[in-house]
């Protein structure tokens, strides 16, 4: 999910120049680290990655990290914690169908023992990190260049995140979105057949029903049904590995279809927001980078009729997610007005 999830309750957070405890929590993994200001940016120090399903709550993850940090000699523990997390905060509760457990803001503050704990949508935080990333980390998929604004950020992972980085009144602003929950649009007869099958299964077919790790499996299973072939793969990793090896034609077809369809979706959003550049992040992007470069992604991205030429000049990049969510959480915190 991708809309804004920022809390307004609680005491004013400490100044942005202090060390922060930052977390980047998705549907599969939680990355937690200590982040310090460094020049115009941030440096990630002691950090860990945890499988969300191995813990009963977000507070349990934060407690585990705090204990491991103390064992490692990190005694200067921050007073503030910024959590970049997939979802939409409604009152005290986070709305997200991809997390391993429900999240209550007040209960997490209490159980983690952190009073200055705040939540921000994970892709909103990641968009805040974009201006602080060295150019060498951006890997071109289409036209080369920097990140002309507005910058559209898309991320297929456990779900599908999206955000827009824009300039407003001389300062950077991030506009979060729920593009992953918008209805999936078919552009070919095969895609239309897939949408029909997913509609019979799910009702509303959100875009992340295909453009995500679980969505990749949905797409593969639909192809197997259409081809009347029993599925061999039950998880995204095995499916991608089979396509990488080139020994399973249906796996290869599935990955090719996924990349082309994602390109069409990215092109639609780029036109919708009149984006100046596009950046792909998310856990699945790294695994599929070779396939994204093979052409179908950009071919469908540019296949927009009379406006194809306007998209041809847009820089399109792939980006390793890594610890950027931690940097983004700190960058979001630094951008907030202080009393």
Q: How many residues does the chain have?
A: 339
Using CB atoms within 10 Å of the CB of residue 12, give its burial: 0 to 12 exposed, 13 to 18 middle, 19+ buried.
Answer: exposed
For the segment 73-96, what is each residue's pLDDT rounded down to a tens digit?
Answer: 998 888 899 999 988 888 899 988
CB within 8 Å of 315: residues ≥ 6 apart: 140, 142, 143, 144, 145, 146, 147, 148, 277, 278
CB within 8 Å of 237: residues ≥ 6 apart: 287
Comparing CA positions, the residue from 122, 208, 203 lying closest to residue 158 is 208
Token pair 């540019």: residue: 302
Domain 20-131+323-335 adopts which CATH fold? Nucleotidyltransferase; domain 5 (3.30.420)
| Strands in 105-176 per DSSP E | 116-121, 138-140, 151-156, 160-168, 171-176
pLDDT, tens digit only, all 339 positions of the chain: 433 333 433 334 444 458 999 999 988 899 999 999 888 788 999 999 999 999 999 999 999 999 999 999 998 888 899 999 988 888 899 988 778 899 999 999 999 999 899 999 888 899 999 988 888 889 999 888 889 999 999 999 888 989 999 999 999 999 988 899 999 999 999 999 999 999 999 999 999 999 999 999 999 999 999 999 999 999 999 999 999 999 999 999 999 999 999 999 999 999 999 999 999 998 889 899 999 999 899 999 999 999 999 999 999 999 876 788 899 999 999 888 765
User: In angstroms, how far is CA 240 from the centroid of its own chain?
Assistant: 19
**Residues 151 and 104 sit within 8 Å (Cβ to Cβ):** no
Question: Which of the 8 DSSP states describes residue 133?
Answer: S
Helix (H/G/I), strand (E/B), else coil: 94: strand
Helices 189-202 and 249-273, packing angle to 10 deg: 90
CB within 8 Å of 49: residues ≥ 6 apart: 29, 30, 31, 32
At CB < 8 A and 24+ separation, what contacts does 8-13 make? 9/92, 9/105, 9/106, 10/109, 10/115, 10/116, 10/117, 10/118, 11/115, 11/116, 12/338, 12/339, 13/80, 13/116, 13/118, 13/333, 13/336
| CA triple 276-87-233, angle to 5 deg | 90
147-314 is classed CATH 3.40.367.20: yes
The pLDDT of residue 229 is 96
Domain layout of the chain by residue ranges: 20-131+323-335, 147-314
Comparing CA positions, the residue from 131, 125, 183, 140 lying closest to residue 301 is 140
CB within 8 Å of 201: residues ≥ 6 apart: none
| CA atoms of 277 and 142, how far apart (whole Å) | 10
CB within 8 Å of 197: residues ≥ 6 apart: 222, 225, 226
The pLDDT of residue 223 is 97
The pLDDT of residue 4 is 37
What is the dihedral sign for C-alpha 98, 102, 107, 108? negative
The pLDDT of residue 17 is 59
The pLDDT of residue 321 is 64
């Amino acid at each position: 999910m991708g809309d804004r999830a920022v809390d307004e309750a609680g005491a004013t957070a400490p100044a942005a120049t202090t060390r922060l405890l930052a977390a980047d929590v998705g549907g599969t993994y939680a990355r937690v680290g200590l982040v310090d200001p460094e020049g115009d940016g941030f440096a990630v120090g002691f950090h860990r990655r945890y499988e969300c399903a191995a813990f009963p709550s977000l507070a349990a993850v934060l407690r585990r990290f705090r204990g491991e940090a103390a064992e490692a000699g990190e005694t200067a523990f921050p007073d503030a914690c910024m959590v970049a997390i997939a979802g939409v905060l409604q009152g005290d509760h986070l709305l997200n169908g991809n997390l391993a457990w429900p999240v209550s803001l007040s209960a997490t503050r209490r159980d983690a023992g952190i009073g200055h704990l705040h939540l921000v949508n994970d892709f909103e935080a990641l968009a805040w990190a974009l201006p602080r990333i060295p150019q060498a980390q951006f890997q071109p998929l289409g036209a080369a260049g920097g990140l002309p604004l507005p910058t559209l950020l898309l991320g297929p992972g456990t779900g599908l995140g999206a955000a827009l980085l824009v300039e407003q009144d001389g300062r950077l602003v991030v506009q979060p979105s729920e593009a992953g929950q918008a209805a999936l649009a078919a552009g070919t007869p095969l895609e239309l057949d897939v949408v029909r099958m997913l509609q019979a299964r799910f009702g509303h077919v959100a875009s992340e029903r295909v453009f995500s790790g679980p969505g990749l499996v949905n797409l593969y299973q639909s192809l197997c049904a259409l081809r009347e072939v029993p599925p061999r793969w039950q998880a995204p990793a095995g499916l991608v590995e089979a396509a990488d090896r080139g020994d399973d034609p249906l796996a290869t077809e599935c990955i090719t279809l996924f990349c082309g369809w994602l390109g069409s979706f990215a092109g639609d959003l780029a036109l919708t927001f009149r984006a100046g550049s596009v950046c792909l992040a998310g856990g699945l992007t790294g695994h599929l980078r070779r396939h994204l470069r093979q052409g179908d992604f950009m071919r469908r991205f540019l296949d927009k009729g009379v406006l194809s030429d306007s998209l041809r000049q847009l820089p399109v990049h792939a980006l390793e997610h890594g610890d950027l969510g931690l940097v983004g959480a700190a960058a979001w915190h630094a951008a907030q007005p202080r009393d």
